[in-house]
Structure 1
Amino acid sequence: MKTIALYGFGRIGRQFLRVALTERLFVPVSVSDIRDEATLAALFAVDTNYGRWPEPVAGTPGQLRIGERDIPYLNSATEIPDWAALGVDLVVDCTGRATTRAGAQAHLDRGAKYVLVSAPSKTLADCDAVLLKGINLETFDPDQHHLISMGSCTTNALAAPIKVILENFGIQYGLFSTVHSYTNSQSLTDQPMKDRRDSWAAAENIIPSSSGAARALQFIWPDLHITGKAYRVPTRTGSIAELNLVTEKECTVDEVKAAFRRAAQEGPLHGVLDVLEDEWASCRIVADPHTALIDLPLTAKQGQLLSVASWYDNEWGFSNRLAEVAAYLAERI
């Protein structure tokens, strides 16, 4: 396996590392961020959403020690590390800022060979490919794809059910709405923000928001006619996307449920998509590693309109796929 460096140690970066170490996928050759080692180590050791890490964790100048692993820490407050000097093959950018080609290209300019971005690129021109596990990861071309986007948590939560419906019944067009936990882009108290709706306290309001998922989905399926929006709600993690579609083929609710059950049990979506047979609330899917959990009791049909609900832990599920995709790429570059 080629070397992997982690750039950005925030919400996704820390869960990405937890998954990589827990599943023994890889140990990154370095971790980079702009904060001090001791604070970052403490945030990794004890997480509000996912609890305590089972090993001792410490941060000292230039190093994070997790259990018996010593991982070099590189402060990137002033510049991106010299990846060539470090022998880094793949940089996983978890800053949320490498959504333009210039932002991601900066890693290649510093000597990395490939970049995996944990966010949706602004346009298809800003990356070489959008690759999702279970959807199109096998199309990775190491000669052509150097800047790779994983889309967003919502992209992954929608892509799995879309793939199932497309392959079984076809899709004419559709709309989605995602009810999403608040994130660090919002404010805890009322104050002016760049996006006016984000100016109100995240933990006290339902806040309409935009979603880049529709754009990312069209990178994968150019002829897909689906758009949508998001609502941020006062939960710390755990989200749900409702997908309303007009299919090309006639189908029944039972046929749709059966298609999802098959996809969860076998084929490329096994481990990516799962189904819920019983009635649950969002606490059920916190720390679930799947990126799409289809709530079968919420599947409904009215005339030509099919409604499907996909739960996802917007941090943990996405971080699982990100770590798996990083490991996949590192085996093939």
Structure 2
Amino acid sequence: MATIALYGFGRIGRQFLRIALQHDLFTPVAVADIRDESTLAALFAVDTNYGRWPEPVTGRAGALQIGHRSLPYINSMQAVPDWGALGVDLVVDCTGRATTRAGAQVHLDRGARYVLISAPSKTLADCDAVLLKGINLDTFDPASHHLISMGSCTTNALAAVVKVIRERFGIQYGLFSTVHSYTNTQSLTDQPMKDRRDSWAAAENIIPSSSGAARALQFIWNDLKITGKAYRVPTRTGSIAELNLITEKDCTVQDVNDAFRRAATEGPLRGVLDVLDGEWASSRIVADPHSSIVDLPLTAKEGNLLSVATWYDNEWGFANRLAEVAAFLADRI
């Protein structure tokens, strides 16, 4: 397996590492961030959303000690690490800032061979490919795909639904809304922010926001006519997206739900897509590893308008796919 380094040890980076170690997918040869080792070790050891790590975790100068593993740590406040000198093949960038080609290219300039970006690129020209497990990961070309975007948590949640409906019933056009837990891009208290709506306290408001998911979906299916928006709400993790579609073929609620049941148990979406039959709230899907969990009782049909709702843990589900895709790439480069 090729060597993997983790750049950015925030919300997604820490969950990415937890998943990689829990499932023995790989152990990064280096972790880089801009904070001190002791604080980062403490945040990894005890997570508000996902609890305690089962092994001792400590930080010392130049290393994070997780159980018996000693992971080299590099403070990248001044510069991106020299990946070439470290023998790194694949950098997983979890900073959320490598959304332009220039921002991601720096890792290649510093000696890495490939970059996996845990965010949606601003345009298709800003990456070589958008690759999602269960959707189009089999199209990975090591010769031409060096900057690879994983889109966003919402991209992965909607892509699974779009794939099923598109292949079974066809899609003319659609509109989605996602109700999304607050994130670190928002403020805990009222204060001026770059995006005005984010200036109000995240834990006290419903805050309309933009979503890059529609653009990322169109990077995969360039003829897809879907747009949407997001609403940030006061939950710590766990989100739901409602996708309203005009299908090309007539279908019933039963037809649609049966298609989701099949996709959840067989084919490329197994382990990526799941379904719920009961009546649940968002706590049910916290720490669920699936990218997309269709709430079957919420499927509705009126005329030729189809409405589908899908849950996703916007941290844990996405981090699971990110770790799995990193392992997939590392086996093929």
Cα shift readout 1:51-84 (whole Å, capped 9, x = no counterpart): 0000000000000000000000000000000000
Aligned equivalent of 2:17? 17
Matched, 1:253 2:268: no
Q: Structure 2 CA distance, aligned partners of 1:195 and 1:119?
A: 18
Deviation of 1:20 after TM superposition, in Å, equals 0.1
Match of 1:179 in 2: 179
C-alpha distance in 2, partners of 1:285/1:305? 27
Identical aligned residues as a percent? 83
* Residue matched to 1:309: 309
Shift of residue 161 of structure 1? 0.5
TM-superposed CA distance for 1:305, in Å, is: 0.4
Q: How does 1:55-204 map to 2 (within 5 A)?
A: 55-204=55-204
**3-state DSSP class of the match of 2:65?**
strand
Distance in 2 of aligned mates of 1:274 and 1:179:
19
The CA deviation string for residues 91-150 of structure 1, in whole angstroms up to 9 with x for no partner, is 000000000000000000000000000000000000000000000000000000000000
CA distance in 1, matches of 2:109, 2:296: 47
Note the C-alpha offset of 1:204.
0.2
CA distance in 1, matches of 2:74, 2:216: 31
Q: How does 1:211-250 map to 2 (within 5 A)?
A: 211-250=211-250
TM-score normalised to structure 1 length: 1.00
**After TM superposition, which residue ranges in structure 1, 4 or more long, deviate above 6 angstroms?**
none
**SS of 1:91 mapped into structure 2:** strand
| Cα separation, 1, equivalents of 2:303 and 2:211 | 27
SS for the counterpart of 2:290 is coil
Please report how far the alpha carbon of residue 158 of structure 1 lies from its aligned counterpart in structure 2 after TM superposition: 0.1
Aligned twin of 2:40? 40
Give the TM-score normalised by structure 2.
1.00
Structure 1, unaligned stretches of length 5 or more?
A: none
* Other structure's SS at 2:175 match: strand
Q: What amino acid is aligned across from residue 292 of structure 2 in structure 1?
A: A
Alignment of 1:271-290 (within 5 A): 271-290=271-290
Partner of 1:297: 297
Equivalenced residue count is 333
Alpha-carbon distance in 1 for matches of 2:168, 2:97: 37
Distance 1:190 1:34 in 2: 26
TM-align CA RMSD: 0.3
Which whole-Å CA distance do the structure 2 matches of 1:115 and 1:310 have between them?
29
